Chain A
Amino acid sequence: MMSTRMEVLDWTRGEEGIAYQTCPACAGLWYFLRTFCPCCGRQNPESRQSGGTGTVHAVTLVTRAPGDELRPYAPYLIALVDADEGFRLMAHGDKNLQIGDRVRARFATLAGRLMPYFERIAEQ
């Protein structure tokens, strides 16, 4: 998992992957990209690739879209998902997702934007 920044795919740059960062010095772990560790201040944190699985922490079904671009997709579900690596992210997901569900990310394009989209992992 010692990937360098260039190898890590990041949906916010239009790539099919979820990136997160860790600090080799203090073991801090977070989602929003930075050039330093927000826990201890060390420069050059490591960027890593999430495996894309996690647990649903919170959900909301959005009926009222913010504008014309997304209106055709409403209602859509937005979730906060606790990724198994230990960070939390916001994403879209199936309308039937519930808190506590185990989920896996795929990537969907809504209104021309690539974004993570979570589906429930089928029971064994």
Chain B
Amino acid sequence: MSYITGVGLTPYGKHPGRSTLDLMSEAATAALADAQLERRDVDGLLCGYSTTYPHLMLSTVFAEHYGLTPTYAHAMLLGGATGFGMVMLAHHLAEAGVARNILVVAGENRLTGQGRDSAVQALAQVGSPVYEVPLGPIIPAYYGLVASRYMFEFGTTEEDLAELAVLMRRHASMHPGAQFKDRISVADVLASKPIASPLKLLDCCPVSDGGVAFVISRDRTNDFGVRIIGTGQAHTHQHVTAAPSLTQFGAAASAALAQSAAGTNLQDLRYLAIYDSFTITLTILLEELGLAPRGQAGQRAREGYFNQDGELPLNTHGGLLSYGHCGAGGAMAHLVETHLQMTGRAGPRQVRDAAVALLHGDGGVLSSHVSLVLEAVR
């Protein structure tokens, strides 16, 4: 049993002059305050990585900086899946009695802390240094390859992909912390600058500065009742060249493990928080997870299925595509929003019912999958 007892999130976008440790600290302070805990209550620390502050021991660097002396510390590197990977680990650490209150934190000045080319090149290193990177792909190119095949197999169109960018922007327009809040249309997405076909600028998440943290505890520390009831992972490959398929990834297997542990199924879900680094990522994950039939995620979005007042509200903060993406912390904002929804604190974005939520993250090129099932309890 474990509870998410507090969450903290900075706006994503530009934080000029703020370092990785600054952004992690700000988020950690917000999360501890939310959990009604002090630094001395934290006995477990999990943190992500930072491309602007690569360090062998980021967890203890942060512990020293922030003033923590945990009895368990660990920095995780699992690309975009890091945030939910840390949640899964924290859940098991709490259940095993290794730690009582685990601070999970990530942050990075990825946007203002380095040049544009440095960011693009650092990220492209998830590719094979021998067989892929020398060919000059960028992250969107790996996903562009996947998109071309997926669209070929299932008839998804560029308009279908664009619907998901439009949806994420509409949601972000209601969150003051989102990096991009101006509404966009399908035509805007289609007319945006080509990056790596079929993906255009507005099919791609931005690079952001930001920090995010939560506290995962063995026992409740306040009135919030958000429980982690199932977790799962699946890892099928690292490099897109070595992927066993460009239409079947590890998402379904990972979610099946989480749902099985939780004792839930698709019909129980009321809220979705799904990784959306690109419109094709969100399309594939929604469809592989069974949340839309193959080839129909865009149509479902167009029909309002994933709206705040739709059948299954999705990423009501705007997702990576519009709230922003600061690396290890990127998808952790999805969990913060889920927590706000489950505790009735989402303000104008509040959904009717978020009693059970499925969260899914992926890292690499749909390589590493982590799924979480959360439940709101009284």
Contacts and interface: CB of A to CB of B under 8 A. Distances in A.
A95 B14 CA distance: 36
A69 B117 CA distance: 11
A65 B241 CA distance: 19
B240 A66 contact: no
Contact of B241 (A68, A69, A90): A90
Interface stretch (B123-131, B205-213, B255-263, B317-325): B123-131
Interface residues of A, number: 35
Given A62-B144, A80-B241, A99 B131 contact: no
B149 interface: yes
Interface in A48-103: 57-70, 73, 75-76, 78-80, 88-92, 99
Contact of B149 (A30, A58, A68, A75): A58
Given A64-B196, A66-B117, A78 B246 contact: no
A31 interface: yes
B138 A64 contact: yes
A66 B138 contact: yes
Given A62-B196, A67-B121, A110 B136 contact: yes
Nearest to B200: A63
Contacts of A68: 117
B124 A66 contact: yes
Nearest to A67: B117
B184 to A, nearest CB: 19
Contacts of A89: 131, 241
Given A31-B131, A80-B145, A90 B240 contact: yes
A88 B241 contact: yes
Contacts of B141: 60, 62, 78
Interface residues of B, number: 34
Contacts of A73: 136
B96 interface: no
Contact of B134 (A57, A59, A115): A115
Nearest to B136: A70
A109 B197 CA distance: 23
Contacts of B147: 60
B73 to A, nearest CB: 33
A12 B136 contact: no
A90 B196 CA distance: 15
Interface in B187-233: 193-199
Most buried by B among A61, A62, A70: A62
Nearest to B144: A60
B287 interface: no
B136 A99 contact: no
Nearest to A73: B136
Nearest to A75: B194
Among all A-B residue pairs, the 9 with the closest Cβ atoms: A60-B144, A70-B136, A61-B197, A58-B145, A58-B149, A63-B194, A58-B148, A60-B196, A64-B195
30 contacts: A12-B130, A30-B242, A31-B241, A32-B128, A57-B149, A58-B145, A58-B149, A58-B246, A59-B148, A60-B141, A60-B147, A60-B198, A61-B144, A61-B194, A62-B138, A63-B195, A63-B196, A66-B136, A67-B120, A69-B136, A76-B136, A78-B135, A80-B241, A80-B246, A90-B135, A90-B145, A90-B241, A110-B136, A111-B136, A115-B134
